[in-house]
Amino acid sequence: MKTIIFKSASVYLLPLLLLFSVFILLRGHYLPGGGFVGGLMASIAFVIHSFANGVENTKNIVKFHPGFLMPVGLALALLAGSLPLFTGETFMTGLWMDQPVPVIGTVGTALFFDTGVYLVVIGVTLTIIFTISEGL
């Protein structure tokens, strides 16, 4: 799509949507949101950018193959799940820091698990969309 308005808007939308997706990710522990929704939003940010500027340009922004995010995210989620095993507790038990971190709040293994989901969703969605648009 070659409209100037859309093209220039997409430049500003990309970082805004990415920021918003991180907000949704962090918000998700007690309120609606979380890794899955956040990941979808982050990939929508890239999809909008690719609509306006073409897939090639979006790929240049991402730099690496988005499929690589899948094992990274899975590894992060697996690590978050199995950390309690090392302290003798059961799989998937939430371990929490004593002191809250400013802005984010109390950090626990649940956050890492959700971040893992976030990365996997971005990886899967972008791989699918990039592969499909290559065939067009």
Partner 1 sequence: MSNPYIVLPVIFQLFVAVTLMFSWTNKNLQKLISVVGSLIALLISISLLIKVNQEGIQTMQAGGWIAPFGITFVADTFSALLVLLTAISGLAVSVFSVGSIRNARVRFGYFPILHLLIMGLSGAFLTGDIFNLYVWFEIIIISSFVLITIGGEKAQLEGAIKYVAMNLLASVVFLTAIAILYGLTGSLNMADLSLQVAKVENRGLVNVTAILFLVGFGIKSAVFPLYFWLPASYHTPPPAISAIFGGLLTKVGVYAMLRVFTLIFVPDTFLTTVITVMAMLTIFSGGVGALMQNNIRKVFSYLIICHIGFMLAGLGIYSTLALAGAVFYLVHDIVVKTNLFMVSGLIFKIKGTYSMRLLGGFYKEQPLMSLLMAIPLFSLVGIPPLSGFWGKLLLIQGAMDSSNILLIGFILLGSFLTLFIIAKLWSEVFWKDPQILPKKEHIKYFDELKPLKKRAMLASVVFLSILSLGIGFGAEWVMRIAMTVAENLMDPSAYIQAVLGT
Q: How far is the CB of 86 from partner 1 (least distance, A)?
A: 10
Nearer to partner 1, 47 or 69 (CB): 69
Minimum distance of partner 1 from residue 118's CB (angstroms): 16
Lookup: tokens for 46: 């890239």
Min dist CB 67 to partner 1, Å, is 7
Q: Which of 54, 106, 111, 43 is nearest to 77 (CA)?
A: 111
CB 25 within 8 Å of CB 38 = yes
- Which chain residues interact with partner 1 by CB under 8 A? 67, 70-71, 74-75, 78, 81-82, 84-85, 88-94
In the bound state with partner 1, the residue whose beta carbon lies nearer, of 54 and 67, is 67
Tell the smallest beta-carbon distance from residue 45 to partner 1 (Å): 24
- Closer to partner 1 at the Cβ: 92 or 107? 92
**What per-residue string of b and e applies to 63-100 under the rule 16 or more CB within 10 Å gives b?**
eeebeebbeebeebbeebbebbeeeeeeeeeeeeeeee
Q: How many other C-beta atoms can be found within 10 angstroms of the C-beta atom of residue 2?
A: 8
Cβ closest to partner 1, residue 41 vs residue 69: 69
> How far apart are alpha carbons 6 and 52 in whole angstroms?
6
